[in-house]
Amino acid sequence: MSDEIKKGLLGIVVDETEVSKVMPEINSLTYRGYAAQDLCAKCKFEEVAYLILNGELPNKKQLKNFENQERKERKLSKTLIEDIKKFPKKAHPMDVARTVVSIMGLEDKDTKDNSHKANMLKVMRIFAKTPVALAAFYRSRKGKKIISPKKKLSFSENFFHMCFGKIPQKEIVKAFDVSLILYAEHSFNVSTFTARTITSSLSDIHGAITGAIASLKGPLHGGANEEVMHMINKIKKPENAFKWINNALDKKDVVMGFGHRVYKSGDSRVPTMREYFGKVAKIKKDKKFEKIYDIVEKVMIERKNIHPNVDYPTGPTYHLMGFDTDFFTPIFVISRITGWSAHIIEQYAANKLIRPLASYKGNQHRKVIQLNQR
């Protein structure tokens, strides 16, 4: 009897984790036991980053120390800044994200040290510097002067400052913070499993995160938020939405931003992100994307019983905030660095080389014939 094959490791439990879980009893994604939507309501992103990396929500002193450490590590080396200026202007920002983390690995004095203490220091450097590097490319490719980070600004405020030279209304900063919280972690997804697989060979943390970024780039994972915006741009206006989505379904086209391997009756992150999408749309006085959103969602549920995932509301929210579409997934990166890092640390702590088996279906044993006889 042939081995049973679980394509995509569907349903296979490969390890244990304390970082996150979708808890069916409360129908919610949880980080260290806390519902993600509750964290959005009561915490800022830095608190959640601390929680994911350290296991508990911080008190005021712990949060202050964490924020000070992150802000202290924001500054990029002159070499990295010059490298960013030389990157091709048409390079995809996800390729830039992957490359800058790799360069940080070249520069970091602790790259070869895989002790817990050294890894936590490296996590903070990657976490602090990656958004600065991405914002630098955001400016550089437009021919604009690179804006240095400011220590007095929060994580989200600083990213807006470095990209646009100004900070928007606090409601928009909050919406951005919420998106980072919702994107921060999601158990053994493709990119996290990639990071853990790399780590299992006892490679370094920069290499593991570089690999995770490459994995996240794909449209079936993190790149979906970009694809959602491309879809909405194709629809153009609400009057076209009903016909467009029905035609897409008739042709059996893949509709991005819908469905999820884990959630079968709806992504628990969507209601929170949809709420903040609405708030940003109201501030921007732009209801077009919301109308398109609602029509497409309604048809997808009625015809296919497939619900949206978090990428569906996040894409148009980032667009309304002013970000270029190809920067949506890099924003995902600067958030998910926290989840990846927590899993990398967890993998190091109880490591076993990840090495699955494959069922061979090629030719049976063959004898080699000399070149002149073939």
CATH number of the structural domain spanning residue 241: 1.10.230.10
* Longest Cα–Cα distance in the chain: 78
Distances (CA, A) of 358 to 6, 241, 352: 10, 44, 18
370: pLDDT confidence band, cut at 50, 70 and 90?
very high
pLDDT in tens, 8-62: 888 888 899 999 999 988 889 999 999 999 999 999 999 999 999 999 999 999 9
pLDDT of residue 12: 84
Does 180 share its domain with 308?
A: no
Asked if residue 371 is part of any domain, the answer here is no
Mark whether 339 and 198 lie in a shared domain.
yes
Residue 234 shares a structural domain with residue 123: no
Catalytic positions are: 221, 260, 311
Q: CA 372 → CA 365, 367, 369, distances in Å?
A: 21, 15, 8
Q: What's the pLDDT at 317?
A: 97
Co-location of 236 and 250 in the same domain: yes
**Burial readout 8-23 (b: 16 or more C-beta within 10 A, e: otherwise):** eeeeeeeeeeebbbbe
Could you please report the per-residue DSSP string of 154-200? -HHHHHHHHHHSS---HHHHHHHHHHHHHHS--SS-HHHHHHHHHHH
Q: Strand, coil or helix: what is 28? A: strand
**Phi, psi angle pair for 159, to nearest 5°:** -65, -45
Give pLDDT tens digits for 131-185: 999 999 999 999 999 999 999 999 999 999 999 999 999 999 999 999 999 999 9
Q: Is residue 302 part of a domain?
A: yes
Mean per-residue pLDDT for 352-365? 92
- CB atoms under 10 Å from CB of 245, counted, come to 22
State whether 126 and 275 are in the same domain: no
Q: Rounded to whole angstroms, how far apart are CA atoms 234 and 252?
A: 17
- Tell me: the pLDDT tens digits for 188-205? 999 999 999 999 999 999
Segment 235-254 mean pLDDT? 95
- Pull the structure tokens for residue 75: 């500054």
258 Cβ contact list (under 8 Å, min separation 6): 300, 304, 306, 307, 308, 309, 312
Exposed/middle/buried for residue 25 (C-beta within 10 Å: 0-12, 13-18, 19+): exposed
Q: Judge whether 368 lies within some domain.
A: no
One domain, residues 294 and 239: yes
- Which is it for the CA torsion 8, 9, 11, 17, positive or negative? negative
Query: What does pTM read for this prediction?
Result: 0.94
Residue 269: closest CA among 308, 304, 306? 308
Are 283 and 186 in a shared domain?
no
48 and 147 in one domain? Answer: yes
Q: How confident is the model at residue 1 (pLDDT cuts 50, 70, 90)?
A: very low
**Is residue 230 located within the same domain as residue 344?**
no
CA dist 247 and 323 (Å) reads 29
Q: What is the mean pLDDT of residues 100-104?
A: 98
Q: Are residues 243 and 179 in the same domain?
A: no
Query: Is residue 237 classed as helix, strand or coil in its secondary structure?
Result: coil
Q: Number of structural domains, the chain?
A: 2
Judge whether 4 lies within some domain: no
171 and 63 both lie in a single domain: yes
For residue 123, tell me if it sits in a domain. Answer: yes
- Contacts (Cβ under 8 Å, ≥6 apart) of 163: 135, 138, 139, 147, 323
Q: Has residue 363 been placed in a domain?
A: no
Q: Please report which helix (H) or strand (E) contains residue 23, including its range.
A: strand 20-23
Burial 106-138 (b: 16+ CB within 10 A, else e): eebebbeebeeebbbbbbbbbbbbbbbbbbbbb
Same domain, 58 and 198: yes
**The domain that contains 36 carries what CATH number?**
1.10.580.10
Q: Is 225 exposed, middle or buried (0-12, 13-18, 19+ CB in 10 A)?
A: buried
Domain span holding position 298: 224-321
Domain annotation covers residue 247: yes
Distance between CA 103 and CA 127 in Å, rounded?
Answer: 14
